[in-house]
Each structure stands twice: as C-alpha cells, then as structure tokens.
Amino acid sequence: MNGLERQRYNRNILLPEIGTAGQETLLASRVLVVGAGGLGSPLLLYLAAAGVGHLGIIDDDLVSLSNLQRQILHATEDLDRPKVTSALETLSSLNPGIHVTPYNERLTEQNVHPLAHQYDLVVVACDNFETRTIVNAACMHQKKPMLTAAVSGFSGQIYTFKPYLGSACYRCIYPNLPTSNLVPPLASNAFEDGILGSVAGVLGSWLSTEVVKELLNIGESLAGQILILDVLRNNFRKLHIPRDPVCSFCRKSQTD
Ligand SMILES: [Zn+2]
C-alpha cells in the first residue's frame, strides 16, 4: 500500500480485525457480483469503497426510470445505458484504485464456470432463483463461497453458502427448482414486488459486510444459517438451515 491508500483505508486499518494485513488481503481479493440493481448497488459501492481490489459485475439490463428509486449506482443521466457501464463509471469515480470488469451479458450455465473461476467469491445480488441455482452449482464445484440476499417490501433474508465445508447448499433449501431455463414455480422475484429502496440498501450493505468477513475470514460466517430481517417490525433473527442428507446436489459434489 502506498501513502494515499493508507489514508483512504485508514478507518479499515484501524479495526483490529482488519489492520494492514487485512487491507492488503482486500486489495488482492476478487469478487464477482451478479446484478447491478437494488441489492448490487449498495453492495458494490461498499465493496469498492472498502478497497476490494477487483470487482466483476455481470448484468445485461439497461437503466430504467423505475430503477432509480433504489439502484443508487445509477443516475438520471444513465437512463437506457447498460447498468454495467453506469456501475463501472460510478465505482471508478468512487475509487480509481480498484479494477472493475463489466460483463454486459446474462449469467448462464455456460459462462458461469469460466467467470467464477476468475474470482474468490460470488455474490448473487439479483433476486432470481434460477441464477442462484446456476451459481450454487458452479461455486460448489469450485469450492467457493456463494452469498446472496432476497428482499421484498420491508423484509429480506441473507445467506452464505459454503457446502464444501459441510453446511447446507442452496438446493438443500430449495430442492425442487428447475435447473434449466424454465420459469421458477415460486414467482417472487423482487422486480415484481413493491420494495422500499432503503430496505434494499440495508440488505445490500449487510451483504457487503458478510463478503468482507468471508474474504478476511473474520467473525462468524452465516454459512448454515439464514439471517431474516423485518425492518417494518424491527425483527432480526437467525435460523439454522440443516444440510439435507438426501440433497442430490451437495452429495454429488462431495463425490467429485
Ligand atoms: Zn445441498
């Protein structure tokens, strides 16, 4: 780290859990974020500000007017531009010392493996069952953490999956989801529901904190648990999620 970096990350370095060594680790870390929307915006802003050295962003969407109520990476002048382009500019302006790689495409079963291979950890920041299923399989195979959050209205959940260490995988919780390009049976994608922007902000910020914890291996991992937040009623709770002993997905990966 040079002198400017020491100044920029001073408040991180002052934390005994991070320190100079932890900041060096963050600067050397590579995180792939799927989705530059309501969850991805606060997540990416905080990861960039914290000095996570290489961020990959995959999203094939354009910025639309109804996004701006919560997707704070993007501004009014970004309307109709690719979200990854707008995200790249915002994040580079916030922190020119990190590398941001935009992928203006949709994550698929085909491109997920070579993409995930380049990163230490993958965050699914779009509320989409099919994407989580695709990333779950790739991260299980590559033994990398997958973090994700779901948000709707005033509530949401945060998950960390590290099934290669023995905790539940995403399919242990949702075993009956389609694996191909079918419409998921549970139609609860966030873009169809009402949502308060700041609630996506809470979830995305919390998710970014869990990412930093995983990268630095500090604190208690959320793996094997769900953190459930109900902001309207001020309820926060953690639920243990047991591994499904007959889950064909993590059982298969253990025999690879
Ligand atoms: Zn499983």
pLDDT digits (tens, 9 = 90+) for 131-165: 999 999 999 999 999 999 999 899 999 999 999 99
Q: What is the pLDDT of residue 178?
A: 55
Q: How far is the CA of 40 from the centre of ligand 1 (A)?
A: 25
Order of all β-strands in the sheet with 225-230: 99-103, 54-58, 30-34, 121-124, 146-152, 155-161, 225-230, 235-240
Q: How far is the CA of 72 from the centre of ligand 1 (A)?
A: 34
Q: How far is the CA of 253 from the centre of ligand 1 (A)?
A: 9
Q: How far is the CA of 52 from the centre of ligand 1 (A)?
A: 29
Q: What is the pLDDT of residue 136?
A: 94
Q: What is the pLDDT of residue 193?
A: 76
Q: What is the pLDDT of residue 175?
A: 83
Q: How far is the CA of 247 from the centre of ligand 1 (A)?
A: 5
Q: Is the pLDDT of residue 12 over 80?
A: yes
Q: What is the pLDDT of residue 192?
A: 64
Q: Is the pLDDT of residue 254 over 70?
A: no
Residue with tokens 């905080």: 46
The CATH homologous superfamily for domain 3-254 is NAD(P)-binding Rossmann-like Domain (3.40.50.720)
Q: Is the pLDDT of residue 251 over 90?
A: no
Q: How far is the CA of 173 from the centre of ligand 1 (A)?
A: 7
Q: How far is the CA of 29 from the centre of ligand 1 (A)?
A: 27
Range 195-200 average pLDDT: 94
pLDDT band for 177, please (50, 70, 90 cuts).
Answer: low
pLDDT (tens digit, 9 = 90+) per residue, 75-133? Answer: 999 999 999 999 999 999 999 999 999 999 999 999 999 999 999 999 999 978 899 99
Q: What is the pLDDT of residue 183?
A: 38
Q: How far is the CA of 158 from the centre of ligand 1 (A)?
A: 17
Q: Is the pLDDT of residue 255 over 80?
A: no
Give, as residue ranges, everything with CB less than 5 Å from ion ligand 1: 169, 171-172, 247, 249-250
Phi, psi at 161, each rounded to 5°: -115, 125
Q: How far is the CA of 219 from the centre of ligand 1 (A)?
A: 24
Q: How far is the CA of 161 from the centre of ligand 1 (A)?
A: 10
pLDDT (tens digit, 9 = 90+) per residue, 13-43? Answer: 999 999 999 999 999 999 999 999 999 999 9
Q: What is the pLDDT of residue 152?
A: 86
pLDDT band for 203, please (50, 70, 90 cuts).
Answer: very high
Q: Is the pLDDT of residue 185 over 70?
A: no
Compute CA distances 166 → 160, 250, 254, whole Å: 13, 9, 9
Q: How far is the CA of 133 from the centre of ligand 1 (A)?
A: 11
Neighbours of 53 (CB within 10 A): 18
Q: How far apart are CA 242 and CA 130, in angstroms?
A: 22
Q: How far apart are CA 138 and CA 177, in angstroms?
A: 16
Compute CA distances 134 → 60, 65, 123, 129, 170, whole Å: 16, 29, 12, 9, 10
Q: How far is the CA of 177 from the centre of ligand 1 (A)?
A: 12
Please check whether residue 103 is in contact with residue 116, taking contact to mean a CB–CB distance below 8 angstroms.
no
Between CA 243 and CA 249, with CA 246 as vertex, the angle to 5 degrees is 80
Phi, psi at 246, each rounded to 5°: -105, 15
pLDDT band for 187, please (50, 70, 90 cuts).
Answer: very low
